[in-house]
């Protein structure tokens, strides 16, 4: 895992000192090495910070190039099918200088050009400079596991793994996007392609950008999830999932360093540990708990760790963990109000003391149907003709019903137009969207069955925008790579090709996963109620802390939010909305 940065200037030569400073804002993403490339005409520069996992020698250093030094790449991520691709490319006459999976990107571009991403199985964000065509190509993986940002003005184009590298350039304006503040308060994150800054954008998952020497940008989609309605023999489906998971976990453990695993004692992380055991991979696991909490996950994690004789470590958090929120504002670059940002950072810190990479269970709920809002949707629409009846009453009513259900599930202190008007100062009211749920509307896929429609929304919204951003920033802040085997795109596509009834059973949690782990895990784990990676409620209900953070804060002083509304929510003990404001306050104080 690494940090990448680059720029293409129109006229002025690249300032090498500045490029190095931009690159080194990402040292936490790659403390093991650093590299730079400046083109012959001095108009193009690429930078790289390296976290060494494959080919630990200097041959694995980046930016990487081909034999005649016409193609240069700076790569963040892992290409899990690189052994197969390397053999295929070698058979076509390509010569490799290293054993690094990242070098596959260079030769895949030489061979397949713009189509290279469709050949890659992995998590990645990379930039490729083609010196012959005088063209830059940026690519982001299918689900947005790895981040990629960019900025353009009349004289330059800049890209990087994190926004902080881009705004290190003093010529990049820090113009706050007030519409993005509204989106943040609504969603807990800022949806693609926007960011908190007007002039900085995200590359969307499953997309690539082409930038020519005149600065013309083309944005193209190379992958999208397809939806099927296939049925099948249950035993065959169970067997297929087993094979796909075995293959994914095996490929995700390829490394020249030790690979550990997060372990919460829930379905997903416990399943990964079970599959690590199946492939005879040494198990190092890491968990987190909270003081004086009966549901603390570390106790369940220890049950699984003991079952598989794992080398296991836990850390127990107390109230002082909230002190980290201010520190995290640096690493997150944008406000993100998931309540698990602190425990995710802490367990990453713990793991990073023993390993450089871990497996984690992100994506399992989305593809196997594990979230509680799926069950409530299934129960509401249990009448087989529910959606069709709704559509006959009012065209589009099924969409409206689904989005209302989804928005309610995602709310966690949601803000509608009334609440946004309440909290934001009058000068900002013009930035409030007519439809605060516009992003959910834009990502809705019509024609799907009830539960699958929510899964599709989660893949594109909750997972890609919030969950994966959280895990990337928290782990890379600790120079730790997190690999997510459930998001092998072949496994995800297999699941979404199935009829909902083939994989979703209301009375069996994550049916196709359960059938593959039911004989390997203790009943105390299999029968656990669904629990997010959070802490006890009182952890987030310290109203004296909210009062200290907000009432004398910059958001009120700079007339972004209204003091009287903040005081009202303090009086009402509305901790969900206060949490969003506190996260925004720390971000705003750090970056403005």
Residues with catalytic function: 2
Handedness of CA 195, 199, 202, 204 (dihedral sign): positive
DSSP codes joined into one string, 259-328: EEEE--SSHHHHHHHHHHHHTT---EEEEEEETT-TT-HHHHHHHHHHHTT-EEEEEEE-GGGGGHHHHH
Contact 33, 61 (CB under 8 A): yes
C-alpha gyration radius of the chain: 24
Q: What is the distance of C-alpha 453 from the center of its chain?
A: 20
Helices within 133-279 (DSSP H only): 163-167, 178-187, 234-252, 267-278
Question: What is the DSSP code (8-state) at residue 204?
Answer: P
Q: How far apart, in Å, are the Cα atoms of 155 and each of 139, 160, 216?
A: 22, 17, 12
Contact 286, 351 (CB under 8 A): yes
74-96: b or e for each residue (b if 16 or more CB lie within 10 Å)? Answer: bbbbbbbbbeebbebbeeeebeb
- Count Cβ atoms within 10 A of the Cβ of residue 143 and give its class: 0-12 exposed, 13-18 middle, 19 or more buried: buried
- Count Cβ atoms within 10 A of the Cβ of residue 516 and give its class: 0-12 exposed, 13-18 middle, 19 or more buried: buried
Question: Phi and psi of 103, rounded to 5°?
Answer: -65, -25
């Amino acid at each position: 895992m690494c940090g990448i940065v680059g720029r293409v200037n129109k006229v002025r030569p690249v300032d090498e000192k500045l490029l190095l400073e931009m690159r080194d804002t990402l040292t936490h993403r790659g403390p093991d090495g650093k590299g730079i490339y400046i083109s012959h005409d001095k108009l193009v520069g690429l930078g790289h910070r390296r976290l060494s996992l494959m080919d630990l020698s200097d041959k694995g250093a980046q930016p990487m190039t081909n034999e005649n030094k016409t193609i240069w790449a700076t790569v963040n991520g892992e290409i899990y099918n690189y052994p197969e691709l390397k053999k295929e490319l070698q058979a076509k006459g390509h010569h490799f200088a290293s054993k690094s999976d990242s070098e596959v990107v260079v030769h895949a571009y030489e061979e397949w050009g713009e189509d290279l991403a469709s050949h890659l199985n992995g998590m990645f964000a990379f930039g490729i400079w083609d010196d012959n065509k005088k063209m830059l190509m940026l690519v982001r993986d299918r689900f947005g596991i790895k981040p990629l940002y960019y900025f353009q003005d009349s004289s330059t184009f800049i890209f990087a793994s994190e926004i902080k590298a881009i705004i290190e350039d003093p010529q990049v304006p820090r113009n706050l996007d007030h519409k993005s503040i509204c989106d943040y308060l609504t969603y807990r994150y800022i949806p693609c392609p926007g960011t908190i800054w007007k002039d900085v954008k995200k590359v969307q998952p499953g997309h690539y950008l082409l930038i020519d020497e005149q600065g013309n940008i083309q944005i193209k989609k190379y992958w999208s999830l397809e939806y099927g309605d296939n049925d099948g023999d249950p035993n065959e489906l169970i067997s297929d999932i087993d094979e796909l998971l075995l293959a994914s976990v095996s490929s995700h453990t390829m490394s020249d360093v030790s690979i550990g695993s997060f372990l919460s004692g829930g379905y997903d992380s416990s399943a990964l540990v079970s599959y690590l055991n199946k492939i005879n991979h040494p198990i190092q696991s890491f968990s987190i708990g909270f003081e004086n909490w009966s549901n603390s996950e570390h106790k369940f994690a220890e049950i699984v760790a003991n079952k598989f004789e794992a080398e296991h470590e836990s850390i127990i958090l107390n109230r002082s963990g909230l002190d980290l929120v201010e520190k995290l504002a640096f690493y997150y670059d944008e406000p993100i109000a998931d309540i698990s940002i602190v425990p995710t950072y802490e367990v990453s810190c713990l793991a990073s003391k023993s390993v450089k990479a871990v497996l984690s269970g992100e994506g399992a709920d989305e593809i196997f149907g594990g979230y509680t809002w799926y069950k409530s949707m299934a129960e509401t629409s249990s009448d087989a003709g529910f959606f069709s009846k709704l559509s006959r009453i009012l065209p589009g009513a099924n969409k409206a019903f689904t989005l209302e259900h989804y928005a309610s599930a995602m709310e966690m202190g949601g803000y509608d137009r009334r609440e946004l008007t309440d909290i934001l100062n009058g000068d900002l009211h013009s930035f409030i969207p007519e439809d605060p749920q516009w992003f959910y509307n834009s990502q809705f896929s019509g024609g799907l069955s009830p539960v699958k429609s929510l899964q599709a929304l989660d893949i594109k919204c909750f997972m890609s925008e919030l969950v994966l951003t959280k895990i990337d920033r928290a782990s890379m802040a600790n120079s730790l790579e997190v690999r997510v085997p459930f998001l092998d795109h072949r496994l995800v596509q297999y699941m979404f090709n199935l009829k909902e009834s083939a994989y979703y059973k209301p009375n069996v949690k994550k049916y196709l996963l359960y059938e593959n782990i039911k004989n390997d895990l203790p009943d105390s784990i299999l029968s656990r109620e669904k629990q997010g990676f959070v802490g006890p409620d009182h952890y987030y209900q310290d109203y004296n802390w909210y009062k200290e953070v907000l009432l004398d804060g910059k958001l009120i002083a700079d007339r972004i939010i209204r003091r009287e509304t903040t005081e009202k929510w303090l009086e009402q003990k509305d901790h969900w909305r206060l949490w969003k404001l506190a996260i925004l306050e720390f971000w705003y104080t750090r970056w403005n």
